[in-house]
Structure 1
Amino acid sequence: MRQDVNMPVQSDGNQSGAKSANDACDARNAQEGRQSGNPALYGRKVLSFVRRSARLDARLQRAWDNYSDVYLLDVNAGEGSLDVREGFVFDAAYVGDAWGNDNPLIVEIGSGQGENVVAAAAAHPDVNFLALEVYDPGVAHTMLLAGKQDLRNLRIAQVNAPELFAAAADGVFDQVWTFFPDPWPKMRHHKRRIVQPELAADIHRTLVDGGAWRIATDIEDYALHVHEVMDGMAGFHNDGSITVSLPVEHVGKGNANEAASMRHADFVESERFSGRVLTNFEKKGLAAGRVIHDFTYRRV
């Protein structure tokens, strides 16, 4: 039973305390690196999330107690750890044991409250789904939604996503979804964005031939970041069919209004992915007037 947990928090404007703590941690590690002759952040993983202590409310705690044995995969290094345990391999044999079949497998990085992955699992019972989420309330809420429908084709791993992909065998995933990842708007935090060349290389390796990495963001600066990482990535083809205009420089946090006056260039993106449900998060972005950028990068 989970009573008190370390809870990752989103890095939006309401999480200044978490971001300040993370900035301080970056500074300490940079100083230690300089003193030891090692680079900044030496000895510490660059994570796409921040952790903070929190409790589940009674409803989510019941969901955890009732459904964790059904949905939560035991791949962690230990209680409370988001690391993948040493020696673990996510391969076809493991999929067969965990899901009981060899159906196609789709993994969602950062599944949030589970609205999208649960809807997809319910609509496609002949497809296996894996939700990767580090945020305890999100994991519990996903189990709550899945348990209400008695879904048998969904599993959840509460681990750092890049570690899971590093531990995965070649060609084990049919698709990877990353919808509305944390934007990390400050320039010095762009290294924390989940879309990075190292992860892209592991996703390419673990996708089947013809498999796709689907990405969506409502942050224009993040869309540019995706193009910078993915458009020149060997082994991926941008399957997009529409042309969008984006500034060719990053603006940083609080400077989005400057983007309109910057030099722009045309980029290729995808139509909205029909398999993505309209979540509350996406609705809020649309209501705020933000443009949704969809991407489909196919392994070739």
Structure 2
Amino acid sequence: MATTKVRGRMSAAKVRVLAELGPRYAVDLDPGRPLGERLGEAFGRSADRMLDVGIGNGEATVAWAAAHPDRDVLAVELHRPSAAATLLAVEEAGLTNVRLAEADVRSLLAEAAPGDVHDVRILFPDPWPKRRHHHRRLVDPVLVATVAGVLPPGGTLHVATDWEGYAAQVVAAVEADGRFAIDPTAERPDRPVTTYEALGRAAGRTIHDVCATRR
């Protein structure tokens, strides 16, 4: 797990958490070996893998992993305080099917082979609401195409946002790719209300869940 650069202000307690729990839950990020091989080694078994991107305090990640003990959850996060909070939540929940990669998800997916990941979830990515900043948004046609190339048929991409324009952008990218089917009648996936979701609701914004299935 990377330790050379602190991404986010860290309390002494969170520094200790990363030092103590990080090695136990870390994924080898050395691109010298296939990603699928490294993930199999990290989890110690072969199972369908779910990628959780931008994990906040880890509450939603823990719930996802607990609801799917037959699957493995790879949490991807660059914000180190969030990584520390998630590791502590995973440890307290006693889960064995969660691992953490302190990495840019775009770089990680670029290394993945088809089938390395079966589901991708991105909850409330930074909306970059100002028009001049829209190009910084994580979920764009390039990311959608990369995810489509990794997921097997039946795999899912789920993006949640409280910004209507961002949701429309995600839908447009998914539909333009052509390898996904979106069910507009699908119910909101079961998950805890995250901190960012609560902030969006408090501000009067509508929550949009874009759920697409790989054809």
Q: What TM-score comes out, normalization by structure 2 length?
A: 0.92
Distance 1:188 1:204, change over 3 A: same
Task: Show the counterpart of 1:230.
Answer: 174
**What is the Cα deviation at residue 290 of structure 1?**
1.0
- The letter for the 2-side match of 1:288 is A
Aligned twin of 1:66: 20
Name whichever structure is richer in helix by fraction: 2
Letter in 1 for 2:18: W
Unaligned runs of 5+ in 2: none
- Counterpart AA for 1:71: Y
State the alpha-carbon separation in 1 of the partners of residues 33 and 146 from structure 2. 16
**Counterparts of residues 37-52 of structure 1 (less than 5 Å):** none
Q: Contact 2:171 / 2:210 at 8 angstroms: preserved in 1? A: no
Displacement of 1:284: 2.1
Unmatched runs of 5 consecutive residues or more in structure 1: 9-53, 76-84, 242-269
How many residue pairs get matched?
Answer: 215
Highest RCO, 1 vs 2 (Cα 8 Å, sep ≥ 6): 2
| 1:7 corresponding residue in structure 2 | 7
Counterpart amino acid of residue 143 in structure 1 = L
Relative to 1, partners in 2 of residues 1:96 and 1:86: Cα closer, same or farther, differing over 3 Å? closer
| Inter-partner Cα distance in structure 2 for 1:271 and 1:293 | 11
The percentage of aligned residue pairs carrying the same residue is 37
Map Cα deviations across residues 121-144 of structure 1 (whole Å, 9 max, x no partner): 123222100011000100011111
1:211-234 Cα distance to aligned partner (Å, 9 max, x none) = 010111001111121122112212
CA root-mean-square deviation: 1.9
- Establish whether residue 90 from structure 1 lines up as the match of residue 44 from structure 2: no
Partner of 1:78: none
1:120 aligns with 2:120: no
One-letter amino acid of the counterpart of residue 78, structure 2: V
* Structure 1 letter corresponding to 2:28: D
Instruction: Tell me the amino acid that sits aligned with residue 50 of structure 2.
Output: I
What secondary structure does 1:7 align onto?
A: coil
Deviation string for 1:178-209 (max 9, x for gaps)? 11110011222211111111111111111121
Matches of 1:176 and 1:298, distance apart in 2 = 10
**1:92-107 alignment runs, 5 A limit:** 93-107=37-51
| Deviating 4+ runs (over 6 angstroms) | 1-4
Which residue among 138, 150, 157 is the counterpart of 2:82? 138
For the 8 Å contact 2:127–2:137, the answer to whether it is kept is yes
The structure with more strand, counted as a fraction of residues: 1
Which residue of 101, 105, 111 corresponds with 2:55? Answer: 111
- In structure 1, C-alpha distance between the alignment counterparts of 2:84 and 2:125, rounded to whole Å: 19
Residue in structure 1 matching 2:196, options 281, 284, 293: 281
Rounded to whole Å, the distance in 2 between the matches of 1:102 and 1:218 is: 35
* Shift of residue 2, structure 1, vs aligned partner: 8.3
One-letter code aligned to 1:190: H
1:271 matched to 2:151: no
Given that residues 2 and 61 in structure 1 are in contact (C-alpha distance below 8 angstroms), is that contact kept between their aligned partners in structure 2?
no
TM-score (norm 1): 0.67
Structure-2 residue corresponding to 1:164: 108
Matching residue's letter, 1:195: V
The whole-number CA distance in structure 2 between the counterparts of 1:94 and 1:175 is 18
Q: State the shift of 1:88 in Å.
A: 4.4
SS, match of residue 7 in structure 2: strand
Distance in 2, matches of 1:297 and 1:3, equals 35
- 1:43 corresponds to: none
SS of equivalent residue, structure 1 residue 232 = helix
